[in-house]
Amino acid sequence: MSVRWMPASLKRSEAMAVVMILIRISFVILSFIFSPAVFAIPGGVLSSFSTPGDWPTGLAWDGRYLWCADAREGMIYALDREDGSVQEVFPSPASSPQGLAWGRGRLYIADGTTGTIYIFDVKTKRTERWYKLLGPSPRGLAWDNGGLWLVDDRRDVIYKLNPEDGTLIDYFKAPAGDAWGICFDGKYLWVSDRITDEIYMISTDGVVILSFKAPGPFATGLAWDGNFLWVNDFQDDVVYRMKRNDDEKYAVTDWRETIIEFTHRVQNLGPGRLEDVKVYIATPPDRLENQELLEIDFTPQPDSFTIDRWGQRVAICSFPEVNPGEQISAGYRAKARIGNLRYYLFPDKVGTLQDIPEEIVNKYLVNGSKYRIDNPSIKGVARKIIGSEKNPYWIARRIHKYVIENVRYEAAGGWDAAPVILKRGTGSCSESVFLFIALCRAAGLPARFEAGSLIRGDLTSIDYDNHRWAEVYLPKYGWVPFDPSIGGGHSPAGVARAVGRTDVIGGPHPGLFVTTHGGGDSEYLGWNYNSYATYTFREKCNVRAERWFLWDVPKR
């Protein structure tokens, strides 16, 4: 920072003091510009304050105060949401108050020890009614006009109860293994989980739509004040105010730099000779939301580069002949920055099918030999899955749910067409993707595939398997990843993690590298991804082809 404008009479110490003041001012300005409140994504913390007790559990909003339960003291506090100051305090009728909900001018209190709901009048400080619950471990409570939502963390179930007597209206499986807090924002439920440390937005029939990290290690109580989510954290003894939604469509975290080497090798085991060998290599994109290609060196240098009908750049390496007992290799060494991508998909923000650009429709609703979208079974199943649904998000989610529940993962070799996968009920990652894309296109929803490599275990590792997944075009969001090959048996949260996120594509992993985008058959890669080799031969030839990625990720 220049200080040449200072008067010459200033001493060195005075000059340094001025410099330090300017640095501090600059730091304050930068801190404001880059603060979470300015760039807050869904789940961003806007403010916080300490809880009055050290065992905070339930949280509720009555339109004026935040009501906070403390399980150790057995007390209920009314808090000013601006600064957390205690406006009122009284003993809870429950010996171990857990969930709180506000409805019809009364405070509903769940007792985690006795499994009882108390209906409490905060004005008269009297318990008006109480009733025993079905579940053994009541935690969070949330009011919904005409219903009371309850979380049972031992059964991993969310119940909807008649608030008058606790009789059951509905129930479904909780998002993950240890649900705790719950609130209702007028349309969706929000549920915190102690083990995953995530807060989930779910539909009122139990479908997990999105999630974000909880602000602390043990989120016990949730409340909705009409604008923001409020979260009690049992371990931090803090109440957090969080953003529910934002204009940001996605976030990328955990950026890391990596070296990736790709090799495609062709061996001629004889006795004949291979001729006119060509290796077509999918060139990784220069930039994606969560990937930046810093440099790439091919070995050998490609004879040419071209672009296929789907916009995929392809390097072509030619070898005139490969004699018996010889082998050739082609590939690259790439340096890249990769991160974990997470979309925040709000169904109400997704546009209509009519909002999809014409060029996307014309390109990604066409048929293909692996799709067979004109097949009666594909068309019939698509109609059955979709029903009367018009929202592109829910169309994609219904198809995704159908494929993961009806296609068991099995890599049996070969890539059969979608109608065969539908009939057989098993398939590899590519075959599940073919079926998913076929059903999406039959339903009028543009879809394509994306492919590449992921880190298999250790940061320095070899990936022989590679992976292909799908992308769906959601208007007002763009291309969003869906992995339909995760198979059945997952929790609701596990299913949702395969939608709009890259950190679990192909299974949980610390890194993913995208090489290929395609909508169908490529004039260079065929239905392959990463690479493809062609050749002719004289006499009989036994050919072995292999390809792999070598990952080298420096430790942080």
Q: Are 548 and 515 in contact (CB under 8 A)?
A: no
Cα gap 339→252, rounded to integer Å: 6
3-state DSSP assignment of residue 119? strand
Between helix 429-442 and helix 392-406 the angle, nearest 10°, is 140
> How distant, in Å, are the alpha carbons of 205, 336, 338, 504, 548 from that of 261?
46, 11, 15, 22, 8
Residue 26's pLDDT is what? 41
Q: For residue 123, what are the contacts with CB-CB under 8 A and spacing of at least 6?
A: none
- Which helix (DSSP H) or strand (DSSP E) does residue 295 occupy? strand 291-299
> Cα(first)–Cα(last) distance of the chain, in Å?
31
Nearest to 337 by CA among 262, 282, 258, 283: 258
> How distant, in Å, are the alpha carbons of 35, 93, 107, 160, 224 from that of 142?
31, 18, 11, 9, 9
The reply to whether omega before 324 is within 30° of 0 (cis) is no
Cα gap 185→200, rounded to integer Å: 12
Q: Are 97 and 55 in contact (CB under 8 A)?
A: no
Residue 556's pLDDT is what? 63
Residue 538's pLDDT is what? 82
Q: Which residue has the tokens 């789940």?
A: 43
Q: Is the dihedral of CA 162, 168, 169, 175 positive or negative?
A: positive
Q: For residue 136, what are the contacts with CB-CB under 8 A and spacing of at least 6?
A: 115, 152, 154, 155
Residue 553's pLDDT is what? 85
Cα gap 254→256, rounded to integer Å: 6
Nearest to 76 by CA among 104, 52, 112: 52
Q: Which residue has the tokens 């909508």?
A: 519
Q: Which two tokens stand for residue 451?
A: 């492919």
Largest alpha-carbon pair distance within the chain? Answer: 97
Q: For residue 26, what are the contacts with CB-CB under 8 A and spacing of at least 6?
A: 1
Q: Are 227 and 63 in contact (CB under 8 A)?
A: no
Residue 245's pLDDT is what? 86
Which pairing describes strands 408-409 and 426-427: parallel, antiparallel, or unpaired? parallel
Q: Are 492 and 175 in contact (CB under 8 A)?
A: yes
Chain centroid to CA 152: 25
pLDDT tens digits, one per residue of 481-500: 999 998 777 899 999 999 99
- Which helix (DSSP H) or strand (DSSP E) does residue 402 occupy? helix 392-406
Cα gap 39→305, rounded to integer Å: 40
Task: Tell me the β-bridge partners of 422.
Answer: none
Cα gap 530→280, rounded to integer Å: 9
Nearest to 179 by CA among 147, 138, 146, 213: 138
In order along the chain (556 residues), what is the average pLDDT of each group of 10 residues?
Answer: 30 40 37 40 94 96 97 96 97 95 97 94 96 84 94 92 94 94 97 96 96 95 97 97 91 95 96 96 97 98 98 98 96 97 96 97 97 97 97 98 94 88 94 98 98 88 93 98 87 93 86 96 97 93 95 82
- Phi and psi torsions of 348, nearest 5°: -70, -20
The reply to whether omega before 300 is within 30° of 0 (cis) is yes
